[in-house]
Each structure stands twice: as structure tokens, then as C-alpha cells.
Amino acid sequence: MSEREAVEALRTLGLSNYEAQVFVALQQLGSGTAQEVSELSEVPRSQVYGAADDLAERGLVEIVRSSPKAYRPVELSTARALLTERLEREKSRAFDCLESIRATETDRVDGQDVSMLRGRQPIDERITEIILSADHTVVFVSPTAGATTDAIADALRDIGTDGADVTVVTADRSLDDRFTGDPVNVFVMSEDNPADFAGRALMIDDRTVLLAAETDNAPVQEEALWTGDSSIGRILAAFMRSGMESGRDRHRK
């Protein structure tokens, strides 16, 4: 890793640009005066004092009482622990604040829009959340067993236990075994009824729909759109319902 990359990484961990440059320079020097740090890092000497003192307040630098005053970095293991702890603390504080100010479900505009999601984990979490909001019907299209995470499977079982009619449509017979004994109906597409799925799909109560497809745009992996209790959602739900019924009719034949 270059000096520049090290500085950028330290900035990501919460140091200012000058603090990161001074800390990197001190790693190279072992210990040094403001003048020596300035010459190596190209940070103005007048700025080295403030940055080094701030680093000392963070516990990352020791002040050597000499003439002229010098600075010495703490062990890297200590610095790692301090920066990691600070990052975790700031992360918790940020999300606690967001939790306190975010709108509640009832405060939000009620489902009259289409939302986009990118990335497998956010989509998995949204699928789980939407399943648990169902009142009476859940249809989940899972092309493979891997498309149904443990959390999604648990949500399907839970909502089925609560009385909802839950159906999983798949081309993977292992899902039938996975839900054996659970209040989940698994419809496995037969060889005579090929399952050329474009991706995952979810329909809740004939009005909320989520459609997800894999993408070649790394590192996103998957993209999805979903819409709540809206005219768009009801139209998409009607198409899904029609397609599922058509597939069942072909399966019976």
C-alpha cells in the first residue's frame, strides 16, 4: 500500500487529512519534530502542531517532552483498536439518530410509488419485511433453493402459521423438502412446464409486488423494484396471479 492509500484509508476511519498525513509520517520516522514531520509529509509545520495534538487527544500519538517538542506514534495494534472502537461508536450513534428521526410506516406516503433496490442483502431484507406484512396471501417465486434465505424461509413459515395462504413457486425440488410439515405450499414447475424465471418475485395480498433480477453490473449482483398498495402493484399482482394459475393448469394436464 502506498502512502497516499494509507492516508485515504485513515481518513475513512475518521481522521482528518492532516491527521492522517502526520500519522503516516510518524510511522515512517518512528518519532519526529514538527519540522521533520512537515518535511516528510509536506503538511505545513504550523498545521502539524494542531494535527499532532489532536492525534494525541485521540490516544494515537505520544508527546515527547523535548526541545524542540517531538511526537511518537503508539503501537499499531493500539491504534487499530482505538480507531475501530471509535468507528463502531460513531456508527452506533449515527444509526441511533436515524432511528429516532425516521418516519414511521404510518407517516410514509402509502404505497403510491415504485421503489428501486440494489444489492442482494437489501433485497433479501426487504423481501423478509414485506412477507411479514401480509394479511392473507403470499406468493414467492424462488427459482432456486439459494434464492430463499433462512430469514425469508422463516418469514414464510411465520406468516403461514399466522394464517396466511403461502405459496412458493420454484424449479428446485429441494424446496419442497425444506418446507415439509410447514404451512407453506410449494409448487415445483415440472419438465413439461419449464421454469424460465427472470428472477425472484413476491406478491403480497394481491396488491404489493417485488420483482428482482440478477445483474452483470458488479458488485451489485441483483436489482429489484417494488410497489406497495397501489394501482401499479395491483396490476402487477394480477399478471403474477394469471401466470401462476396458467402454470398450474398446464401442470395438471
| CATH number for 72 | 1.10.10.10
Cα 81 from chain centre: 24
DSSP string, 34-90: HHHHHHHH---HHHHHHHHHHHHHTTSEEEE-SSS-EEEEPPHHHHHHHHHHHHHHH
Domain-embedded: residue 106: no
Domain-embedded: residue 26: yes
Residues 91, 137, single domain; the answer is no
**Three-class DSSP category at 158:** helix
Domain-embedded: residue 239: yes
Residues 242, 125, single domain; the answer is yes
- Residue 146 phi/psi, 5-degree rounding, is -65, -20
- pLDDT value for 51: 92
Reading across the β-sheet that carries 61-64, which strands appear in turn?
A: 32-33, 70-73, 61-64
Residues 24, 131, single domain; the answer is no
Residue 42 structural domain: 3-76+84-100
Question: Which is nearest to 204 in space by CA: 174, 249, 236?
Answer: 236
Strand partners, 203: 139, 209
The tens place of each residue's pLDDT in the chain, 253 residues long, gives 688 888 898 888 888 999 999 999 999 999 889 999 999 988 899 999 999 999 998 899 998 888 888 999 999 999 899 988 888 888 888 887 777 776 544 344 444 577 888 888 889 999 999 999 999 999 999 988 999 999 999 999 999 999 999 999 888 889 989 999 999 999 887 654 445 677 898 988 888 889 898 887 656 578 888 887 666 667 776 777 666 665 555 544 4
Domain-embedded: residue 173: yes
Residues 143, 242, single domain; the answer is yes
Domain-embedded: residue 108: no
Residues 127, 149, single domain; the answer is yes
Question: Which is nearest to 226 in space by CA: 122, 148, 104?
Answer: 122
What is each CA distance from 172 to 6, 133, 213, 252, in whole angstroms? 47, 26, 17, 18
- pLDDT value for 194: 45
Residues 155, 216, single domain; the answer is yes
Residues 247, 130, single domain; the answer is yes
- pLDDT value for 246: 55
- Residue 189 phi/psi, 5-degree rounding, is -65, 135
Distance (Å, whole) CA 19 – CA 34: 13
Q: Which residue has the cell 418516519?
A: 103
* pTM confidence score: 0.59
State the cell numbers at 42: 509536506
Residues 145, 57, single domain; the answer is no
- pLDDT value for 230: 66
Length of the chain: 253
Residues 135, 233, single domain; the answer is yes
- pLDDT value for 44: 93
Domain-embedded: residue 109: no
Residues 34, 137, single domain; the answer is no
Residues 20, 122, single domain; the answer is no
